[in-house]
């Protein structure tokens, strides 16, 4: 046994062992061998040992367990550089190393993992392995040489594509690109050691840092800059990535390497990266429900029933069919059933035309869908989701019937957007089996699923709902019963504020522009026109009637009363042509002006800053009330809801994180200035100098 073999420098992180003249460094930092503190120290010690020992001819670096280094340790992001694991130092040492080094890749080599591998002389991989630089997804950039080395291996164009999408590639493609030197069949370590042995005498050692960049013409970078205006509008890190890739093409390695370090810190310390990292963690947290864990029994969903083949029912059915779960879909009339099935088929055929599925897939999915006019056919379904008209009497009637039809243990779910799930459950003899599953339109596209926990919903049904969300590729968030649950309840306040802004003097297009500038694809009026103005109109009329109040008569109600219902009538707040782009309408501008005159309102100039604050803070204020009432478990859950259900840009982190970034004291001061009363929780956190993020943490 040599001294290197006997010495275990960081046994918990990097283990040294020998196979003849090859030193093997095995990184053991389960579950994904993230580049945490301890890993760089272990690797450096291993390299020192290899340098000091003449009998070592080459080094293999491999991951223990199921993967190579799958990335940086995200928990260490945002720490001062001195305290962060020294990935750059480790890679510098590798780059200057005098003996061949071989990265042996299985699982994934992502981010810092791929940067580490590119610091080695060679890379070998199993064919299932994947490599990539996903940093852009967290609002940062490869900060340990990735922006400088990847273009030197795969060329400027491909490197930009990989770094800007953040998507990994498979080992086979990586080999074609020269990023992987050899694909190992069979045992990776044995293959890597054999490769190291056969390259032990190779000199000069190949160093990526000494190569040039292929295809780095000015046009390639100009095109990339144009491209990110569309794909990453308003985002910092993609433009820094393009700048750095351009440096790789035009400057010596050392210059780009040094510049990258500063730009990495700039990106990491930006609110955008904080927002994206917040959502990364919030999405994982959202899956946790206090009191419910892995031991909570769940039911496997092998078949589904859906009642109503309208807009929502059809989209919901597609989610199940896509996941290979057969669906029975019920309507009251044959023509409605035919129409519903026709829409599903057309959607699938469109997807096939775009090449995302085959025509065979279309037929296979359609064959798993059983249409019927008889609710009795739902007797064997493991879950039944009702998606009929938003009317309590109709829903109660259906749940009463379902109670007599569904097998014991079946989950009975409603897709209601506003109605009381407790009241719906009350008509059954098994309220513990009733839950709300609030999908968002278009239900086959939108990733959010609000999972509504009613008073008597059992833990097992709730846990099954969460597991189901994952299975059908949705992001499930648990919410409590209240009018509109979390998302729609907040969006109603936001809509109110938007209408008030116009009443006071803003143009609808300026209000929408404020939200577009924040990164939302649609502002409140663009969204209203898309969803249908008649829906909000009907709700307002109904609520006023129930409350014994006079008929609502806002400017928006007057617009609806002219017959303009939004995109579906090609006219709403805006006009719509063939291109479906909103255009202001002179008559509506006049209608609004007349409305103000009639109400004695003198219009005033409203700046974008005021519009942005009033709209976003109306969301935040309602969100704070929702937290106090326990309708949402965490501020992070609200942010996840807004990102996946309402197009709030992930790089802003969602409305609650956005408020934290602004500082809750200033949010409260602004709300008061604009005549709103801050919710008690918001006021309290502002007084204490707290944040919603801190409140989530304290709650545990």
Please identify every residue annotated as catalytic: 115, 135
Does 318 contact ligand NAD by CB under 6 A? no
**Percentages helix, strand, coil for the chain, rounded to the nearest 5?**
55, 15, 35
Could you say whether residue 505 binds ligand NAD (CB under 6 A)? no
Residue 141 binds ligand NAD, judged by CB under 6 A? no
Question: Going by C-beta distance under 8 Å and a sequence separation of 6 or more, which residues neighbour residue 540?
Answer: 552, 554, 557
Q: State in angstroms the smallest separation of the CB of 653 from ligand NAD.
A: 25
Q: According to CB under 6 A, which one of 107, 313, 623, 654 is a site residue for ligand NAD?
A: 313
Can you tell me which residue has the tokens 């949010």? 667
The DSSP element (H or E) to which 369 belongs, if any, is strand 369-372
199 or 395: CB nearest ligand NAD: 395
CB of 278 to ligand NAD, least distance (A): 26
Q: Which is nearer to ligand NAD, 105 or 398 (CB)?
A: 398
Q: What are phi and psi of 691, to 5 degrees?
A: -140, 160
Strands 169-170 and 130-132: antiparallel
Of residues 189 and 336, the one with the C-beta less far from ligand NAD: 336
Nearer Cβ to ligand NAD, position 478 or 686? Answer: 478
647 binds ligand NAD (CB under 6 A): no
Would you say 441 and 430 are in contact if contact means Cβ atoms under 8 Å apart? no
The binding track of 293-312 with respect to ligand NAD, each residue x by CB under 6 A or -, is --------------xxxxxx
Q: What is the DSSP string of 328-361?
A: EEE-SSHHHHHHHHHHHHHHHHHHHHTTSS-HHH
Q: Which of 51, 323, 336, 544 binds ligand NAD (CB under 6 A)?
A: 336
Give whole-number Cα distances, 636 to 276, 643, 693, in Å. 12, 11, 7
Query: Of the candidates 73, 86, 331, 622, which one interacts with ligand NAD according to CB under 6 A?
Result: 331
Query: Within 13 Å, how many C-alpha atoms sit on residue 398's CB side?
Result: 29
Indicate whether 383 belongs to the interface with ligand NAD (CB under 6 A): no
Provide CB contacts within 8 A for 659, sequence distance 6+.
Answer: 616, 617, 620, 667, 692
Among candidate residues 627, 391, 614, 652, the one with its CA nearest the CA of residue 486:
627
The 3-state DSSP class for residue 22 equals strand
Peptide bond into 31 cis (omega under 30): yes
Regarding 445 and contact with ligand NAD (CB under 6 A), the answer is no
Does residue 539 belong to the site contacting ligand NAD (CB under 6 A)?
A: no
**# residues near ligand NAD by CB under 6 A:** 23
| Residue 256 in the binding site for ligand NAD (CB under 6 A) | no
Q: Which residue is nearest to ligand NAD (CB)?
A: 310
- For residue 332, state whether it binds ligand NAD (rule: CB under 6 A): yes
Work out which of 299, 441, 541, 662 binds ligand NAD, going by CB under 6 A. 441
**Cα–Cα distance list, 257 to 144, 214, 473, 539 (Å):** 8, 18, 39, 59
The least CB distance from residue 43 to ligand NAD, in Å, is 51
Q: Which stretch binds ligand NAD (CB under 6 A): 78-86, 104-112, 213-221, 327-335?
A: 327-335
Q: Is 681 in the site for ligand NAD (CB under 6 A)?
A: no
How many alpha carbons lie under 13 Å from residue 556 in its C-beta half-sphere? 30
Give the nearer residue to ligand NAD in terms of CB position, either 390 or 534.
Answer: 390
Contact pick of 388, 412, 413, 518 for ligand NAD (by CB under 6 A): 388
Instruction: Compute the least distance from the CB of residue 416 to ligand NAD, in Å.
Output: 5
Asked if 316 is part of the footprint of ligand NAD (rule: CB under 6 A), the reply reads no
Residue 68 is classified by DSSP as S
Which chain residues interact with ligand NAD by CB under 6 A?
Answer: 307-313, 330-332, 336, 387-390, 394, 398, 415-417, 439-441
């Amino acid at each position: 046994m040599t001294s290197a073999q006997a010495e275990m420098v960081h046994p918990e992180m990097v283990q040294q062992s020998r196979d003849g003249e090859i030193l093997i460094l095995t990184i053991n930092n389960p579950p994904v061998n993230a580049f945490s503190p301890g890993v760089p120290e272990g690797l450096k010690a291993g390299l020192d040992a290899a340098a000091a020992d003449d009998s070592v001819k080459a080094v293999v670096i491999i991951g223990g367990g199921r993967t190579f280094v799958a990335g940086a340790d995200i928990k260490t992001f945002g720490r001062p550089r001195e305290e962060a694991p020294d990935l750059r130092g480790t890679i510098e040492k590798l780059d200057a190393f005098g003996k061949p080094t071989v990265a042996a890749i299985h699982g994934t080599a992502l981010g810092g993992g791929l940067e580490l591998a590119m610091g080695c002389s060679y890379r070998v991989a199993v064919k299932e392995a994947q490599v990539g630089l996903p940093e852009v997804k967290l609002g940062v950039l490869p900060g340990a040489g990735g922006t400088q080395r990847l273009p030197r291996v795969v060329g400027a164009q491909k490197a930009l594509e990989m770094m800007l999408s953040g998507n990994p590639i498979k080992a086979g493609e990586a080999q074609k690109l020269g990023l992987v030197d050899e694909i190992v069949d069979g045992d990776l370590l044995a293959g890597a050691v054999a490769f190291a042995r056969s390259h032990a005498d190779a000199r000069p050692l190949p160093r990526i840092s000494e190569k040039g960049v292929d295809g780095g013409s000015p046009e390639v970078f100009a095109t990339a800059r144009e491209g990110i205006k569309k794909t990453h509008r308003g985002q910092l890190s993609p433009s820094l990535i393009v700048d750095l890739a351009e440096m790789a093409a035009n400057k010596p390695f050392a210059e780009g390497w040094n510049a990258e370090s500063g730009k990495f810190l700039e990106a990491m310390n930006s609110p955008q990266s904080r927002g994206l990292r917040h959502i990364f963690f919030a999405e994982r947290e959202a899956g946790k429900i206090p009191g419910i864990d892995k031991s909570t029994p769940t039911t496997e969903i092998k078949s589904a029933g859906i009642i109503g083949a309208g807009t929502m029912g059809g989209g919901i059915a597609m989610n199940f069919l896509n996941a290979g779960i057969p669906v029975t879909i019920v309507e009251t009339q044959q023509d409605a059933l035919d129409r519903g099935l026709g829409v599903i088929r057309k959607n699938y055929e469109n997807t096939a035309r775009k090449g995302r599925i085959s025509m065979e897939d279309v037929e296979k999915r359609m064959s798993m869908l059983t249409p019927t006019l008889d609710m009795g056919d739902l007797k064997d379904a493991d879950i039944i989701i009702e998606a009929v008209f938003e009317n309590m009497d109709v829903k109660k009637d259906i749940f009463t019937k379902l109670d007599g039809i569904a097998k014991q243990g079946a989950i009975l779910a409603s897709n209601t957007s506003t109605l009381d799930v407790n009241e719906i459950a009350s008509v059954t003899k098994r309220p513990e089996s009733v839950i709300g599953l609030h999908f968002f339109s278009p239900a086959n596209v939108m990733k959010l699923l609000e999972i509504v926990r009613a008073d008597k919903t059992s833990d097992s049904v709730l846990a099954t709902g969460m597991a189901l969300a994952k299975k059908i590729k949705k992001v499930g968030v648990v919410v409590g019963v209240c009018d509109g649950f979390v998302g729609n309840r907040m969006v109603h306040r936001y809509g109110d504020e938007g209408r008030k802004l116009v009443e006071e003097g803003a143009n609808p297009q300026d209000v929408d522009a404020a939200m577009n500038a924040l990164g939302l694809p649609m502002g409140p009026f663009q969204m209203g026109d898309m969803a249908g103005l008649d829906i909000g109109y009907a709700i307002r009329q109904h609520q006023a009637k129930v409350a014994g109040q006079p008929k609502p008569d806002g400017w928006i109600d007057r617009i609806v009363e002219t017959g303009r219902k939004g995109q579906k009538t090609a006219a709403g707040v805006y006009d719509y042509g063939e291109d479906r782009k909103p255009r202001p309408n002179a008559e509506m501008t006049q209608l609004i002006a007349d409305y103000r005159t009639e109400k004695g309102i003198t219009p005033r100039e409203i700046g974008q800053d005021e519009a942005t604050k009033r709209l976003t803070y109306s969301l935040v204020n309602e969100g704070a009330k929702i937290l106090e009432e326990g309708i949402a478990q965490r501020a992070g859950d609200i942010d996840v809801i807004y990102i996946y259900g309402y197009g709030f840009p992930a790089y802003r982190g969602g409305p609650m994180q956005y408020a934290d970034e602004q500082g809750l004291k200033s949010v409260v001061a602004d709300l008061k200035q604009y005549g709103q009363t801050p919710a008690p929780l918001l006021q309290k956190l502002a007084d204490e100098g707290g944040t919603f993020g801190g409140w989530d943490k304290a709650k545990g």
